Amino acid sequence: MSNEEESIEDSGEKQDTAPSPEPLPIAKPDAVEGTEAQPEILAAECAVVEVEVPSTEPVAAEEPELVRAAYEHPLPIRITHWVNAISLFVMVTSGLRIFRAFPSFGPKIPEKVLIEIPKSLTLGGWLAGALQWHFTFMWLFAAGGVVYVAYQVASGHFRTMLFTPGDIPGVWPMARHYFFFGPKPPATGQYNPLQKLAYTSTIGLGLLSLLTGLVLYKPTQFSWLAFLFGGFHLTRVWHFAAMCGFLAFIPGHLIMVLLHGWSNFYSMLSGWKRDPEYQE
Amino acid sequence: MITRLGDKELKRQSRRQLLKLAPVAVLGVFAFPKVSDRLVAAGVRFSDWASGELFRSQHPAHTFSDSEVVPFAKFPYNYYDVVDPGVDLGKWTLTVEGDVQHPGEYTLAQIHALPKICQNTRHICVEGWDVVGSFGGASISDFLKLVGANTGARFLEVECADDYYESIDMASILHPQSLLCYEMYGQPLDRGHGAPLRLQMPTKLGYKQAKYLDTIRVTNVLRPDKTGYWEDQGYSWFGGL
């Protein structure tokens, strides 16, 4: 029993890391030939998988019916996904409370209130409380982001989600399907081009939040960074804009998760997606 | 990367992987206010420690040309209690205590006699607003030399005529732009801005810039619940920029 578990465990982990030692055969055609290269990529990935499959077969053979499944989300991705989701919730709600103390991007005198933020949307009770949450979870958010990106790069897993120029032609058909009930483009991989665009954008937004946050927290120690963002005032605007970016992403993300049902949601908890849409 | 496996096996694998995610549930403790209050306070202490490590004692805050300074009328009067605690400017002296060779009372004239520094720097409030102002005064470091302070001590505590109080790390106090400020916009401090003497440190947030200075004390130990008026209520103690 335990041996079987180990063998499947092993094969699962090998699948995750397998692409990294040989990035060139996969990355090159993708970058050069765009979408036409997709079948080749899948073929390449398949070839890797086929080597591993025999190790799972002794177990699988005992079951009369086999289920198609994919281990889509390695553990580090799942952990950082949920840590980042929680951190982001805290950062946005406490951030809104902080913004409430001076809800303007102009001068103090005269103060023009840009937006009145309801207390109910905020965390921390008052400015000091909100700052405490913000200054605690900023570390978690930063750590989650760094670990996530580092793992994506080191494992090669980023190829499933990174938006590349080859994905551009696929964006409009997907958007037409989502927003205007157009025909559904065939699934070619774990994520469609619009998903890749959204997920890749969140990495950019996270980076922007962290860097602008660093400037607002230590404008003197990081004066060179403040300069790059156009000064203290503009940095505050960028920091707020990054939050707006996240606020644009989150509802769309949640709606899509709701629409795609339990199996899809459960995959971000268990890693395994039962009967994925795409072919092998 | 599609695999084929038995239904039971898939369920078992999924459960195993789900359990591996369990450590993330630890973050659930933040849902309990009694626990989260202490955790986020600890988070701020950690951030303060990191801020102290990041602080570059000689790195200057940005200075501005006269044309970039906001008009005096647009420099806010920010106060926590009263705009004017009614300091008797004629009899005022600064009491110096603690780890110094020459404790006692110091007059404004003695502070005026030190080399004068004028600087246009950004004053940033923890609320998020900022103003570029014009400040003049003596470097705190020069004054500490005058009183024979042990600058190897860790903190400077200050007490004010309006019962405000503060404590600041020695590295920030010794920063070349940290002033005992007695002038704004070339005029003696007015009562609303802390006459006759206030702190002005462009490497610190506004609430660290105590006004109406009354007593300063060089020390190695802070009283646990008396580190600063706002700090004792939950604001960051380091408050550095």
Shared-domain flag, residues A21 and A95 = no
Q: Looking at the structure, do residues A226 and A258 belong to the same domain, yes or no? A: yes
Give yes or no: residues A232 and A169 share one domain. Answer: yes
Kindly report the nearest CA distance between residue A214 and chain B, in angstroms: 10
Q: Residue A1 pLDDT > 50, yes or no?
A: no
Give per-residue pLDDT as tens, A7-52: 444 444 444 444 444 444 444 444 444 444 444 444 434 334 444 4
Assess whether A89 and A17 both reside in one domain. Answer: no
Per-position DSSP letters for B195-211, written without gaps between them: TT-EEE-TTB-GGGS--
Please check whether residues A128 and A239 belong to one and the same domain.
yes
Q: Which of B54, B61, B235 sits opposite A131 (nearest CB)?
A: B235
**CATH, residue A219:** 1.20.950.20
Q: Is position A172 within any domain?
A: yes
Instruction: Verify that A154 and A48 share a domain, yes or no.
Output: no
Q: How far apart are CA A45 and CA A9, in angstroms?
A: 19
Q: Are residues A162 and A26 in the same domain?
A: no
Q: What is the pTM of this model?
A: 0.84
| Cα(A252)–Cα(B114) distance, integer angstroms | 62
Rama region for A13: left / alpha / beta (φ>0; ψ in -120 to 50; rest): alpha
The shortest CB-CB distance from A66 to any of B4, B56, B73 is to: B4
Domain extent at residue A14 = 2-66
Q: Is residue A277 part of a domain?
A: no
* Residues with Cβ within 8 Å of residue B135, at least 6 apart in sequence: B118, B119, B120, B121, B179, B181, B183, B184, B200
Q: What is the pLDDT of residues A162-177, one digit of tens each?
A: 898 988 888 888 888 8
| Segment 134-173 of chain A within 8 Å of chain B by CB | 135-139
Tell me how close the Cα of B44 comes to any Cα of chain A, in angstroms.
6
Q: How far apart (Å, rounded) are the C-alpha atoms in residues B145 and B138?
A: 12
Tell me, yes or no, whether A153 and A197 share the same domain: yes
A276 assigned to some structural domain? no
In this structure, are A82 and A138 located in the same domain?
A: yes
Q: Are residues A190 and A109 in the same domain?
A: yes
CA distances in angstroms from A209 to A2, A151, A241, A243, listed in the order given: 45, 20, 9, 7
Minimal Cβ distance to B61: which of A60, A220, A274: A220
Listing DSSP states for A203-217 in one string gives HHHHHHHHHHHHHHH
Q: Is residue A220 part of a domain?
A: yes
A89 and A36 in one domain?
Answer: no
Which domains are present in chain B?
33-233 (3.90.420.10)
Domain-terminating residue out of A66, A86, A117: A66
Domain boundary among A66, A96, A120: A66
Q: Residue A1, exposed/middle/buried by CB under 10 A (0-12, 13-18, 19+)?
A: exposed
Nearest CA of chain A to the CA of B97: how many Å? 31
With a CB cutoff of 8 Å and minimum separation 6, the contacts of B11 are: none
Chain B touched by A10 (CB under 8 Å): no
pLDDT greater than 90 at residue A279:
no
Structural domain contains residue A165: yes
**Locus of tokens 């073929």:** A43
Asked whether residue A279 is domain-assigned, the answer is no
Report the amino acid identity of residue B59.
H
pLDDT at residue A180, as a whole number: 84
Q: Does any domain span residue A280?
A: no
The ipTM value here is 0.93
Looking at B140-188, which runs of residues are DSSP E strands? 155-160, 165-169, 179-184, 187-188
Where residue A64 falls among pLDDT bands split at 50, 70, 90? low
So what's the pLDDT on residue A280? 64
Contact yes or no for B13 and A128 at CB 8 A: no
Report pLDDT digits (tens) over A191-247: 888 888 999 999 999 999 999 999 999 999 999 999 999 999 999 999 999 999 999
Q: Which of A24, A47, A66 is the last residue of a domain?
A: A66
Domain count, chain A: 2
Q: Indicate if A62 and A79 belong to the same structural domain.
A: no
Contact yes or no for A63 and B5 at CB 8 A: yes
In a domain, A138, yes or no: yes
Looking at CA atoms only, how far is residue B85 from chain A in angstroms?
Answer: 24
- Dmax over CA atoms of chain B, in Å, equals 91
pLDDT along chain B (241 residues), means of 10: 87 92 92 93 95 94 94 88 84 95 95 96 94 96 96 96 94 96 94 93 96 96 92 94 94
Query: Do A56 and B3 count as a contact with CB atoms less than 8 A apart?
Result: yes
